[in-house]
Structure 1
Amino acid sequence: MTLQRETKFVAVETSTSCRMCSKQFGTVHAREHHEKQEHHFTASKRAQMSTGFKTENFLDYKTPVEITKFVEAKLRPVSGPVRLACASEVEGIIAFIKEEFPLPITSVTKGGSYIKGTDTQDWSDVDIVLFSNAFESLEDCQRKIPEVLEELGKRLIKSSWTNRIIMQKKTLFSLRFYFKCYKDCHGHSFDIMPCSDMLGPALSAGLKESFYRKLYLCGDNDKIQLYTMALLKYQAEFVKASTERVKDLIRLMKHWLKTSFAKPTEKNKFRRLPSSYAVELITIYVWELAGKPIFFSFVQGMRAVLKLLVQYQEICIIWHKHYRPNFPIFQKVFLKQTRPFVPDPVNPTFNVCENSNAWDEVAHVARQSLLKPLFNGLQAKEPWLFTNNW
């Protein structure tokens, strides 16, 4: 299984869609009842269709030292001159995109795992949002985006970068391509997104809350995607602020997500596992519960995250850096919450866990993972003693 790029910033009731036929339901409970009745999705069938540990899985290691070496050798991007060259190449292609963009640009926002510092040796993505005042309104932006992306795509293909770009299927709002980076030894998956400049450079509390109200009241899913592009900068900053050790733990958790689940089959082709962003946020939260230690054991940290995932129905994680607890929009969303509940730290209208309809499978695989040699006989130590209550 490869990590899938999100085609949208915000999922649309995905948690309530069937894994087998994609039929939508009003609640997660109704969806699960349908799966049992119509598709005979029993606990044993779930176990069979969810677990798929790779051979020579890192969970078969037996010591913390082995895990540290694995992170350094296999997950953490290569450092030194190669990383510096990589940074230069990425900035070079971004500068070219800005030059060739068909409209005047007011500002540029960068996101994705590469920018946040959570990329791995085999997966790196870069999101670029190009804001322009040439769009007269959000509706005008919606209308013009396909033409703008078409023109930008043509210019990239005709450029000197063409041999290093592999164009991929466009989404409704983005130009997507794979960029072969330094000496073709690795690459990055790019999403280029034009957008109306809705927020501007200075973001006051009042402007932010007004923006959230528009987002909450918007009934057009396509417009919601455009609204949320304006928040990419703050999403990236939130994760980027974590320590390097936490980013390594995030890499471990994303690798776990990639290597521990069975591939979807024709029977459950509508199954959707949690997004990498949801995994990042849950991992950061667990680290914060431990008191934000600078140095900690990867095995202890990973065990803590897996134990929390086992009890996903209890997960309720809220940060109030960008919106206050008594903000009416947040309170409305909170009252309608489904678990797990992890509202985006920069967007109170969106629960990042809603884009998965397989949290029960995540819990099952987490439970099986904790039985692996890596965690055999492992007891919680300071500062992870709080996990004894899970």
Structure 2
Amino acid sequence: MWGVKQKSYNCERCGNDFVSRAALRYHFHAKHLGKVHCETCSAEILCEASSRDSEAEHEVALVNHQRICWNMILRRETKFVAMGTATSCRMCCKRFGSVHAREHHEKQKHGFTANKRAQMATNFKPASFLEYTTPMEINTFVKEKLRPILGPVKLACTSDIEGIITFIKEIFPLPITSIIKGGSYVKGTDTQDFSNVDLVLFSKAFASLEDCQTTTPEVLEELGNALIKSSWTSRLVMQKQRKFSLRFYFMCYKNNHGHSFDIMPCSDMFASMLSTGPKESFYHKLYLCCDDDKIQLYTMALLKYQVEFVKASTETVKDFIRLMKHWFKTSFAEPTKENKFRRLPSSYTIELITIYVWELARKPIFFSFVQGMRAVLKLLTQYREICITWHRHYKPNFTIFQKMFLKQSRPFVLDPVNPTFNVCENSNAWDEIAHVARQSLLKPLFNGIAAKEPWLFTNNW
């Protein structure tokens, strides 16, 4: 739902919001007056102290930033946990207290102007589907180019995937009590050119959460070695092992296509806690946890409910999601050395925003993809107004939800199965998303297109 708009006054220095100019003025005098940002270490210091901000102190600060930088690189592909990436610089990975402070740094330090942003954000692929001019052509494009191929290809693909999953269960170093399958392949949002499968393997062999933390890397290494030595090895492309997941690319159906796999072991204690659905006690433990590794393990257990949320959509909505994910994949420029710390939203975020817009249209069974896509793009152009929540797994009066809602940063899309996770926080490039969305709306596909029922609510955007 959309949050109630209330006039707020924002501090450009630290990003905090205030209900009046007087409150903002008092805050600025108390916290920032007489202070400046040090361009070397990014700290806020007294003006007279700038000369004493010594070279040695700068070196220490830069080493600390370097450490943060490397940690961010290792974490950036984490699927379930927000790491505060929204406040990190796209060019040098320094982190700030607010998005406003980060954007100010990017402009002052790196000259990240509107023109530069446009140049680094947009790269519409040749023969982009946005050049199509009729809704019927888009329907044909989705059917022929995006939907997975059915028939013998689909049957062979399913057989291969179930075969490799069965083999993984057989060679897994620990006894498995249950398994959760996720990813676009399971949710039904995969396309002809990309599909991923997530497997969370629960085991009672982990004596505790701490044991799961320390043992998982060894378990994954042993599993990876077993896969390499197996008869499947010629169809596997192993990728760099992460702390809590093993990733590889699996080629199937005579190598004509493949799937990206993520294997993630997890303690069975979570499966037991969630056996009848997410519990408030589970959310409380997750909310109070301050260890990023433990949070990652907690939230792995919620994969089942994330899958169910998306999978419950109609086939037409899944096609709609495929179209939006294809737009996302073919409209943005790849990061360069200059902006290598740019983080675009995850595909899960795109799925949730697409489902939300469809729900705003009162969940039509049949609808125009052009009208639906126009609605999503218009919403993305005003990302600072996005405030999306669901209450199927937690109620509006749930304490943790209320705390998250009060301290929300925009855009705000709260995971429908995890009230501690704003899925938008993993991205630091929402202004680029808005720019590409605006440019997309100028393409021939949307020429002369006006909102029609049930999409008239977009006229207010």
TM-score when normalising by structure 2 = 0.82
Q: Is 1:310 the counterpart of 2:381 in the alignment?
A: yes
What pairs with 1:1-390 in structure 2 (closer than 5 Å)? 6-200=77-271, 203=274, 208-390=279-461
Tell me how far 1:7 sits from its aligned partner. 3.2
Tell me how far 1:54 sits from its aligned partner. 1.0
Distance 1:293 1:206, change over 3 A: closer
For residues 316 and 205 of structure 1, the distance between their equivalents in structure 2, rounded to whole angstroms, comes to 29
Q: Which amino acid aligns with 1:100?
A: I
For residues 280 and 113 of structure 1, the distance between their equivalents in structure 2, rounded to whole angstroms, comes to 10
Q: Which amino acid aligns with 2:447?
A: N
Q: Which has the higher Rg, Structure 1 or Structure 2? A: 2
Tell me how far 1:206 sits from its aligned partner. 9.4
Q: Which amino acid aligns with 1:27?
A: S
For residues 394 and 321 of structure 2, the distance between their equivalents in structure 1, rounded to whole angstroms, comes to 25
For residues 116 and 207 of structure 1, the distance between their equivalents in structure 2, rounded to whole angstroms, comes to 19
Any runs of at least 4 consecutive aligned residues in structure 1 with deviations exceeding 4 A, and if so which? 204-207
Q: Which amino acid aligns with 2:125?
A: K
For residues 339 and 169 of structure 1, the distance between their equivalents in structure 2, rounded to whole angstroms, comes to 33
Question: What RMSD over aligned residues (CA atoms) do the two structures have, in Å?
Answer: 1.4
Please give the per-residue CA displacement for 1:8-60, whole angstroms capped at 9, x wherever unaligned. Answer: 42120010111111111111111111111111111111111111111111100
> Residue 172 of structure 1: SS of its match in structure 2?
coil
Q: Which amino acid aligns with 1:277?
A: Y
Please give the per-residue CA displacement for 1:131-155, whole angstroms capped at 9, x wherever unaligned. Answer: 0011011110011011111111111
Distance 1:298 1:109, change over 3 A: same
Q: Is the 8 A contact 2:196 2:260 kept in 1?
A: yes
> Residue 319 of structure 1: SS of its match in structure 2?
coil
> Residue 194 of structure 1: SS of its match in structure 2?
strand
Distance 1:158 1:301, change over 3 A: same
For residues 276 and 400 of structure 2, the distance between their equivalents in structure 1, rounded to whole angstroms, comes to 14
For residues 391 and 399 of structure 2, the distance between their equivalents in structure 1, rounded to whole angstroms, comes to 13
For residues 193 and 446 of structure 2, the distance between their equivalents in structure 1, rounded to whole angstroms, comes to 25
Tell me how far 1:200 sits from its aligned partner. 2.7
For residues 257 and 19 of structure 1, the distance between their equivalents in structure 2, rounded to whole angstroms, comes to 19
Q: Is the 8 A contact 2:278 2:393 kept in 1?
A: no
Tell me how far 1:345 sits from its aligned partner. 0.4
For residues 98 and 193 of structure 2, the distance between their equivalents in structure 1, rounded to whole angstroms, comes to 36
Distance 1:207 1:252, change over 3 A: closer
Higher mean alpha-carbon deviation, 173-182 vs 79-88, is at 79-88
Tell me how far 1:205 sits from its aligned partner. 7.9
Please give the per-residue CA displacement for 1:284-323, whole angstroms capped at 9, x wherever unaligned. Answer: 0000011111111111110110011011111111001011
TM-score when normalising by structure 1 = 0.97
Structure with higher RCO (Cα < 8 A, 6+ apart): 1
Q: Is the 8 A contact 2:202 2:271 kept in 1?
A: no
For residues 109 and 205 of structure 1, the distance between their equivalents in structure 2, rounded to whole angstroms, comes to 15
Q: Which amino acid aligns with 1:280?
A: E
For residues 169 and 385 of structure 1, the distance between their equivalents in structure 2, rounded to whole angstroms, comes to 47
> Residue 245 of structure 1: SS of its match in structure 2?
helix
For residues 135 and 246 of structure 2, the distance between their equivalents in structure 1, rounded to whole angstroms, comes to 42
> Residue 19 of structure 1: SS of its match in structure 2?
coil
Q: Is the 8 A contact 1:197 1:230 kept in 2?
A: no
Tell me how far 1:223 sits from its aligned partner. 1.1
Distance 1:335 1:122, change over 3 A: same
Q: Is the 8 A contact 1:68 1:298 kept in 2?
A: yes
Q: Which amino acid aligns with 1:44?
A: N
For residues 160 and 207 of structure 1, the distance between their equivalents in structure 2, rounded to whole angstroms, comes to 39
Q: Is the 8 A contact 1:170 1:176 kept in 2?
A: yes
* Number of equivalent positions: 386
| Identity %, equivalent residues | 79
Q: Is the 8 A contact 2:273 2:282 kept in 1?
A: no
Q: Which amino acid aligns with 2:258?
A: G
Distance 1:87 1:49, change over 3 A: same
For residues 125 and 328 of structure 1, the distance between their equivalents in structure 2, rounded to whole angstroms, comes to 35
For residues 266 and 204 of structure 1, the distance between their equivalents in structure 2, rounded to whole angstroms, comes to 46
Q: Which amino acid aligns with 1:224?
A: I
